[in-house]
Chains A and B, each alone.
Chain A
Amino acid sequence: MQVAADLQKGLDVYAIREQFPILKREVKGKPLVYLDNAATSQKPQVVIDALVNYYTNYNANIHRGIHTLAEEATAAFEATRDTIQKFIGAASREEIIFTRGTTEGINLVAYTWGRQNLHAGDEVIISGMEHHSNIVPWQIICEEKKAVLKVIPVDDNGELILEEFKKLLTEKTKIVSVVHVSNALGTVNPVKQIIDAAHAKGAVVMVDGAQSSVHLDINVQEMDCDFFAFSAHKLYGPTGVGALYGKKHILEAMPVFQGGGEMIKEVTFAKTTYNDLPYKYEAGTPNIADVVAFKAALDFMTETGMKKMRDYEHELLAYATEQLEQIEGLKIIGKAREKTSLISFIIDKVHPQDVGILLDNRGIAVRTGHHCAQTLMDRFCIPGTIRASFAIYNTKEEIDALVEGLKKAIKLLV
């Protein structure tokens, strides 16, 4: 039996599902089948409770008040920083900067580190499978600094061509910014190799961890990346908050990002001195409630068990791949040797949008389109794909429903 099989594997998916209230709802009169987890994951009750509890019991502005509520709010806020430090294996808590998400983290690095360290003729390397968030900030700063943007090509399986990367890497390379796990293909990139090669040439490396942080065990010290950015909403946490990790000596040397309250030590009209790390990069009142709830999401993951989650996700990936491959005319885009639980595919003679609409009509949520990776779609000469991405609360029955929905859609459309 299914339940028994899942129990044996370790993760009790039905118990997990109980913790996500949204999974009980219906869409178009059918039970919701949510397979758009790479866009954003759903939230467990503990995360929702953390938000409500904060506003109900100890809402206050942090770091400056001496009253009880301010102390409680500050403690909760800073506790998240400690949890993130442990979660990604950073050496110190000062290396964790709160942001709005991955996008802001990358922009912060481009606008501060980039502005200080890039000069005319310098080179920035990204890859051919980047999310627009890891393309546009670099284009902007490269244009401003007359630096050159280089792109690591992608092969037919959706893997980076490392030999080409090594050719691109020169003394002119100042920073390499690559996605850890592709949101459009699921490819897990060999970041350790990229980082070591880049360091050997004296370049720093930024890793876009938007997708990897939920699927892989992250240890920034072992990885030895210089920057790592991720978003809470992809790992069962709230929207609008994320974290940027940076090596301490690099963060200390960088100019400030935004000016305002919190990030200053002393302000006079003649001169302002800036606060210490990490506050130097946290101008203004932050998103306190969501930072507090971010901790609940990370705790939820650690308590569920990282290994259990990884094993279960791989089981879902293997099952979905096997089932989808049996559909006639269906072609999986992205067949990297190492993938997270995400499958992008196209179907002969069928437009992804039509499939998305018809699946939605059956309560099944998938993503269709270019997945904010237009340049990657161009690489495969397709306008977009249909993407099903799985989280720990998805079941094999839901994959069956997807397959059934696809077959019905194809019958109607072709």
Chain B
Amino acid sequence: MTIQQIEDEIVEEFSLFDSWDDKYEYIIDLGKRLAPLDNKYRIDENKVRGCQSTVWLAAEYKEDGKIYFTADSDAIIVKGLISMLIRVLSGRTPDEIINAPLTFIQRIGMTTHLAQTRSNGLLSMVKQMKNYAVAFKIKNSQLQ
């Protein structure tokens, strides 16, 4: 599936919920089920700024030319949001990540529903993921 298709899939899933109560319940559930972060990644360099809560985000560039993200947060809703971002962006090439539209955040109503400051936390996570992609891309081009 392409990034676009996964985004559409998430939007579709969210359209099944009638209320924000249900949407939050789903996001919380995603947060609880997010794969745990290896302790070696729990370092200051991996902290993402702009959140009331703490977020750790680690990226690994593997032999297959794709980036794999792992993350954690002490706040569960944020963790659920990260889980969605990982579903969309993890296991993609740097170019795919850089060009990902990520309109699903808006389409599921997240930006309007979460207050500005919290959305900023979400947006800084997205920015951080894209930054990793750019960094790996530059590193690659230097190696070649």
Measuring CB to CB, which residues of chain A are less than 8 angstroms from any residue of chain B?
A: 28, 351-354, 357-358, 360-361, 368-369, 383-384, 412-413
Contacts and interface: CB of A to CB of B under 8 A. Distances in A.
A224 to B, nearest CB: 40
Contact of B20 (A28, A351, A353, A354): A28
Contacts of B52: 352-353, 368-369, 384
B64 interface: no
Interface in B47-92: 52-54, 74-78
Contacts of A412: 24-25, 28
Contacts of B138: none
B18 to A, nearest CB: 12
B115 interface: yes
A357 B24 contact: yes
Contact of A354 (B25, B54, B76): B76
B132 to A, nearest CB: 24
A369 B25 CA distance: 22
B24 A351 contact: no
Interface of B: 20-21, 24-25, 28, 52-54, 74-78, 114-115, 118
Contacts of B114: 357
B21 A361 contact: yes
A358 B53 contact: no
Contacts of A358: 24, 77
Contacts of A28: 20
B20 to A, nearest CB: 5
- Highest count of chain B CB atoms <10 Å: which of A351, A361, A368, A369: A351
Smallest CB-CB A-B distances: 9 pairs = A351-B75, A353-B75, A353-B52, A353-B53, A354-B77, A369-B52, A354-B76, A354-B75, A361-B20
B24 A361 contact: yes
A413 B74 contact: no
B45 to A, nearest CB: 19
